[in-house]
């Protein structure tokens, strides 16, 4: 079905003037199809949900709306000052719309904002990490047990390794031989899963964002301040080490996640210091000593685990992450392994930075 026809149907559902409706893509997320829907008066964000990744869209919306309501109550008490991503209801009060067996939802558009794929400077790292820290702090008294496990075992590295091994054993697309060096590099690090399991025994379960990549933050075009934490689709019970690690993964390299300029893929220590400072500050009264100790492990685990997921998807024929060129997932996997190696190389220095905060 043409997007124009979808735009008109969505406009009807959400009370826009369908004859004026226009839809255009925004952002660079890997999972959902995100579009701006406009008539001559109103703008909203509409997303076609990826139901392979999220087989139960109702649970996803219930989770995101529970968080939305919690944050809204905090904002009314003056305890949360960022904008809040709000789901929009159709004229008949629904939060999901079926069009030709595809599932769409609408979100209030946060105007005069922009997102980044690569952190430009220390100030931006500090600002974004601080906003993710404020978000985590605001969820401190949120009962994580009420969240559905929309993607079970999302950050379970042992399970991700099992999934990789299964795909590798089948090698249905005959891609393994050509990247055997990358496969071997990942395989040599599988002991990280055991290290993670041990560390997780020492840290509390928290309501986590679970996808704190830099393009899930909106900045103000006027002031460059943080405007909103977005993409609440994977908010689930978890550990802060993953949210910290995913920021390290996506803030610290001067290269984008899919860059093939591997010699430049490394942790920028000044960006790391700014992000650690920014994130820990709002959490200083609640973060435990063991949790702070676990952050460096998160910084290793996230590039490694996401890299392994990219490699798995490459071997599996690219059916999870959106790809835009041949070997895109393989390029991403190599990039993430290079970043992981840089974290290992700089581990002592990075750990000292965390300890000094
Ligand atoms: P995905 O799950 O595919 O990553 P996101 O929810 O992160 O999708 O949205 C993708 C991009 O769309 C974001 O990086 C951001 O640039 C833009 N975006 C998403 N929601 C909004 C919003 N409410 N207001 C403005 N821009 C948004
Ligand atoms: C996906 O949706 P997006 O693009 O923000 C993925 C994350 C990965 C990330 C890698 C639901 O995030 O887990 O870390 O790509 N989201 C899901 O860039 O799998
Ligand atoms: Mg996103």
Give me the pLDDT at residue 294, please: 98
Residues having CB within 6 Å of any atom of ligand 1: 26-27, 29-32, 34, 45, 85, 107, 109-110, 113, 115, 215-216, 218, 230-231, 233
What does the pLDDT look like over 319-356, one tens digit per residue? 999 999 999 999 999 999 999 999 999 999 999 999 99
Atom 8 of ligand 1, nearest CA residue? 29
Ligand at minimal distance from the CA of 310 is: 2
What does the pLDDT look like over 145-167, one tens digit per residue? 899 999 999 999 999 999 999 99
Residues having CB within 6 Å of any atom of ligand 2: 29-31, 53, 211, 213, 216, 231, 234, 257, 306
Complex-level ipTM: 0.97
Domain 122-355 has CATH 3.90.1200.10: yes
Categorize the per-residue pLDDT at 29 as very low, low, confident or very high, splitting at 50, 70 and 90: confident
Nearest atom, ligand 2, residue 306 CA: 14
Domain ranges of the chain: 3-109, 122-355
Contacts 24+ apart (CB under 8 A), 4-7: 6/99, 6/104, 7/37
What does the pLDDT look like over 168-208, one tens digit per residue? 999 999 999 999 999 999 999 999 999 999 999 999 999 99
What does the pLDDT look like over 213-265, one tens digit per residue? 999 999 999 999 999 999 999 999 999 999 999 999 999 999 999 999 999 99
Can you tell me the distance from the alpha carbon of 232 to that of 212, in angstroms, rounded to the nearest whole number? 10
What's the 30 CA to ligand 3 centre distance in angstroms? 7
Mean pLDDT of the chain: 97
Categorize the per-residue pLDDT at 1 as very low, low, confident or very high, splitting at 50, 70 and 90: low
Query: 3-109 in CATH: which number?
Result: 3.30.200.20
Can you tell me the distance from the alpha carbon of 25 to that of 304, in angstroms, rounded to the nearest whole number? 30
Share of the chain above pLDDT 70, in %: 100
Note the Cα 138 to chain centre separation in Å.
18
Can you tell me the distance from the alpha carbon of 344 to that of 338, in angstroms, rounded to the nearest whole number? 10
Atom 25 of ligand 1, nearest CA residue? 110
DSSP string, 300-348: HHHHHHHHHHHHHHHHTTS-SS---STTHHHHHHHHHHHHHHHHHHTHH
What's the 213 CA to ligand 3 centre distance in angstroms? 7
């Amino acid at each position: 079905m043409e997007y124009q026809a979808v735009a008109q149907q969505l406009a009807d559902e959400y009370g826009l003037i369908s004859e004026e409706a226009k839809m255009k893509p925004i952002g660079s997320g890997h999972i959902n199809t995100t579009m701006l829907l406009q008539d001559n008066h109103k703008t909203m964000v509409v997303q076609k949900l990826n139901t392979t990744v999220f087989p139960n869209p109702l649970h996803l919306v219930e989770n995101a709306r529970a968080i939305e309501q919690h944050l809204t109550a905090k904002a009314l008490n003056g305890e949360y000052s960022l904008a809040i991503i709000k789901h929009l209801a159709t004229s008949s009060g629904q939060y999901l719309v079926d069009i030709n067996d595809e599932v769409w939802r609408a979100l209030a558009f946060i105007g005069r904002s922009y997102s980044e794929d690569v952190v430009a400077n220390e100030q931006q790292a500090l600002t974004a990490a601080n906003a993710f820290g404020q978000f985590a702090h605001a969820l401190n008294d949120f009962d994580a047990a009420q969240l559905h496990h929309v993607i079970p075992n999302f950050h379970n590295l042992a399970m991700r390794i099992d999934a990789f091994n299964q795909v590798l054993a089948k090698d249905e697309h005959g891609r393994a031989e050509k990247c055997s060096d990358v496969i071997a590099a990942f395989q040599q690090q599988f002991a990280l899963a055991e290290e993670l399991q041990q560390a997780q025994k020492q840290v509390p379960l928290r309501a986590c964002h679970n996808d704190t990549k830099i393009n899930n933050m909106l900045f103000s075009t006027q002031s460059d301040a943080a405007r909103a934490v977005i993409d609440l689709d994977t908010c689930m019970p978890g550990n802060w080490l993953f949210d910290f690690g995913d920021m390290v993964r996506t803030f610290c390299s001067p290269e984008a996640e899919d860059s093939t300029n591997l010699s430049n893929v490394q942790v920028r220590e000044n960006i790391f210091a700014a992000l650690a400072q920014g994130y820990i500050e709002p959490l200083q009264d609640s973060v435990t000593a063991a949790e702070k100790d676990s952050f460096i492990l998160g910084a290793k685990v996230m590039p490694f685990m996401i890299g392994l997921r990219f490699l798995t998807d490459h071997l599996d024929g690219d059916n999870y992450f959106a790809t835009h060129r041949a070997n895109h997932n393989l390029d991403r996997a190599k990039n993430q392994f290079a970043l992981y190696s840089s974290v290992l190389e700089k581990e002592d220095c990075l750990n000292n930075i965390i300890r000094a905060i």
